[in-house]
Amino acid sequence: MSLASLELSNVRKSYGATPVLDDVSLSMEAREFIAFLGPSGSGKSTLLRIIAGLETLDAGEVRLDGQRIDQLPPGDRGVAMVFQHYALYPHMTVRDNMAFGLRNARVPEEEIASRVAEAARVLEIEAHLDKKPGQMSGGQRQRVAIGRAIVKHPKLFLLDEPLSNLDAALRMRTRIELARLRQTVDAAFIIVTHDQAEAMTLADRIVVMNDRRIQQVGPPMEIYSRPANTFVARFVGSPAMTLAPVELLPGDGPYARVRLGSGAEVETRIPRAELPAGGALQLGLRPENVAVAANGSGAASAKVDLVERLGERTLVYATLSDGQTITAEDEGYSRVQLGDTIGLEIDGATAHLFDADGNGHHAEAQAQ
């Protein structure tokens, strides 16, 4: 079986006068696991449904292994979709649910039995094959839905928020199962999710979507550490990145030095020459880049609004003297209390700058 190499070219989609996807292009490698990540309404599920053949596109092309598939019926595309709501037949056993699509495709019964048995083994649901969906837990039903896709031997799996109906513990276990599954199945995967932990854990690359377009494509830590724009910076990462207006200070050094509204100055590792001349700038800081100063002094002073104790670390939400909010990190046994005035140490070497158009500028890559 040839492996999936998906190509989306200039895909557009509108519902009446409402545009949903605007000129989306993407290439996917064989056996790659990609996550479409974005808020509700960003177009990620519509794009998945276009690949599956459940929606038509208005313009553009979808190719799989070089063959154009956007004009083919769903069953002829070589893809299999797993839905958020399982979509199992309640009156059928697990075995019959998994076999249903193969029977419709006139696959011989011996072949069907073999494929169902193999999928059940991979997903560890062999003991449930004669049960009906109503006799199973949500996690087991989701595995049946995945099994129904596996038996088709697709080139490409499409997963539409498959874990969102599960509780937190089951979601984590199923996430592990999906990670194992992609090691045993000879196919590519696309998962649609609004859960960034899911995307960061499972995907080789993340496609961040917003406002009908792809905002950034890259490996998880590249998306996190070098966000393309302010949307990606705020959307990926929890808590969200602090974005604060700053003034670029004059100087002849190679790196940008900026001043916050509170007067605190930050020496970044962002090449000054890469920044646009003039125009507003925002400083971007992840919580781990802002530390509570041990002795109370620091580059900046802030009043504590909230202390979030997470065990291994403490997040401190505070306000600088000019009213700018900022999130900092402290040790697990932090002594910081609500209402305290604290000093903050800002790691300028890991800071980001965003120009007036929202484009990200990042620290110079360090030589390995």
- Of 287, 199, 283, nearest to 239 (Cα)? 287
Is 278's pLDDT higher than 90? Answer: no
Q: What is the pLDDT of residue 1?
A: 41
Is 64's pLDDT higher than 80? Answer: yes
Q: What residues are paired with 11 via a beta bridge? A: 24
Q: What is the pLDDT of residue 59?
A: 95
The per-residue pLDDT for range 93-147, each reduced to its tens digit, is 999 998 988 888 888 889 989 989 888 887 778 888 888 888 887 778 878 888 8
Distance CA 238, CA 252 (A): 36
Contacts with 52 (C-beta within 8 Å, 6 or more apart), sequence order: 74, 77, 79, 81, 158
Which two three-digit tokens encode residue 153? 């031997």
CATH number assigned to the domain covering 240-361: 2.40.50.140
Q: What is the pLDDT of residue 2?
A: 45
* Average pLDDT score over residue span 13-29: 92
CATH 2.60.120.560 fits 6-234, yes or no: no
* Average pLDDT score over residue span 247-261: 92
Which two three-digit tokens encode residue 98? 């998994």
Q: What is the pLDDT of residue 186?
A: 80
Is 350's pLDDT higher than 60? Answer: yes
* Average pLDDT score over residue span 357-366: 87
Distance of CA 59 to the CA centre of its chain: 26
**pTM for this structure?**
0.87
The per-residue pLDDT for range 167-213, each reduced to its tens digit, is 666 677 777 777 877 887 788 999 998 888 889 988 999 999 999 99
Q: Kindly state the helix (H) or strand (E) to which residue 200 belongs, with its residue range.
A: helix 196-202
Q: What is the pLDDT of residue 368?
A: 36
- Counted residue by residue, the chain has a size of 368
The per-residue pLDDT for range 78-102, each reduced to its tens digit, is 898 887 666 788 898 999 998 988 8
300-309 and 290-292 beta bridge pairing: unpaired
Which sequence spans correspond to the domains of the chain? 6-234, 240-361
Contacts with 36 (C-beta within 8 Å, 6 or more apart), sequence order: 44, 47, 48, 190, 191, 192, 193, 207, 209
Q: What is the pLDDT of residue 161?
A: 81
Q: What is the pLDDT of residue 265?
A: 93
As a whole number, the mean pLDDT across the chain is 89
- Other Cβ atoms closer than 10 A to 319: 14
Q: What is the pLDDT of residue 167?
A: 64
Alpha-carbon dihedral 271, 277, 282, 286, rounded to 10 degrees: -10
Domain 6-234 matches domain 240-361 at the CATH topology level:
no
